[in-house]
Amino acid sequence: MNIVIDVGNTYIKLAVFKKHKLVLREVVIEAEVLKTIKSIIKKHKSIKQAIVSSVGRLNKSTTNYLKDTFDFIELNSNTKLPFKNNYKTPKSLGVDRIALVSASVYQYPASNVLIIDAGSCITYDFINDKNEYQGGAISPGIRMRYKVLNNLTANLPLLETEIPSSIIGDSTENSIHSGVVNGVLNEIDGVIANYKEKYSDLTVILTGGDANFLSKQLKSSIFANSNFLLEGLNHILQFNSN
C-alpha cells in the first residue's frame, strides 16, 4: 500500500492507495499532518511507500519521519516520470502539474488530454497521444480574481464566490460576480474550443477546488475528478517501484 501526500498552499491532502485503488482520503492543516500520518499507518500497517508533492510548506520533522519510515519520494524535476517532458523549463514546472499529467497517462493512455486544475490558479496542461507533455497555461483562479479587485481598487468589496444571476450585473456586487465567474467560464470554454480545433479527439479533465462549482456551468463536455492529483502521485510512486 502507498501513502500519498499533496501539500497545498492552505491544506494538506493525504490518501492511501492499494495499488491503484483509493481506500482513504483526508484533508488536514499542517499542524495536524504528522499526527494524522501516524494514525493512518496504525490502521494500515502494510503501507510501505510514500510520495510527497509540495507547492506549500511541509515541516522538516514530517519529511524526516516519512524518509525514515517508508520508501520515500519527494516529487521534483529529477523524479522519473511516466511520460516524456517537452517543457522547455522542466525545473520550473510545478509538481502539482506533473502529478496531474501523470494521472492522465494512467487513466487515458495514448490520448490527447487537456487537464484543467481550477484552484488558487487555473492551470491548463496538455499531453498528446504520443505520451509527450507539451505544456499549457496559467491564469488567476476564481478567489484570486475576487481578491485582486478588492486589493487593487479603493472601493470594490471582497465578495464570496457566487453564481451570477445574470450576465448583466445590476449592482456593483452583481457586476463583480458576473465579471469574475462568467470571465472564468468563458476563458475555460474558449481554451477548450481552441484545443479542439487542433485535436478533435480531445479528452478534457477538470479538477481542483473549484471543479464542482464550475463543472455544472461549463458548456464544454468534461470529466470532473477531484482526486486526479492524488491519483497521479500514486501512479508516479507505482511507476518508480516497478
Residues marked as binding for ATP? 6-13, 120
Antiparallel, parallel or unpaired: β 2-7 and 49-54? parallel
What is the C-alpha to C-alpha distance for residues 214 and 206, in angstroms, rounded to an integer? 9
Q: State the catalytic residue, choosing from 71, 96, 189, 201.
A: 96
Query: CB of 209 within 8 A of CB of 143?
Result: no
What is the C-alpha to C-alpha distance for residues 50 and 183, in angstroms, rounded to an integer? 39
Amino acid at 35: K
> Which residues does the annotation place in the binding site?
6-13, 87, 94-97, 117, 120, 172
Query: CB of 100 within 8 A of CB of 120?
Result: no
Antiparallel, parallel or unpaired: β 12-18 and 21-28? antiparallel
Query: CB of 100 within 8 A of CB of 125?
Result: yes
Antiparallel, parallel or unpaired: β 2-7 and 71-74? unpaired
Is 96 a known active-site residue? yes
Active site residues: 96
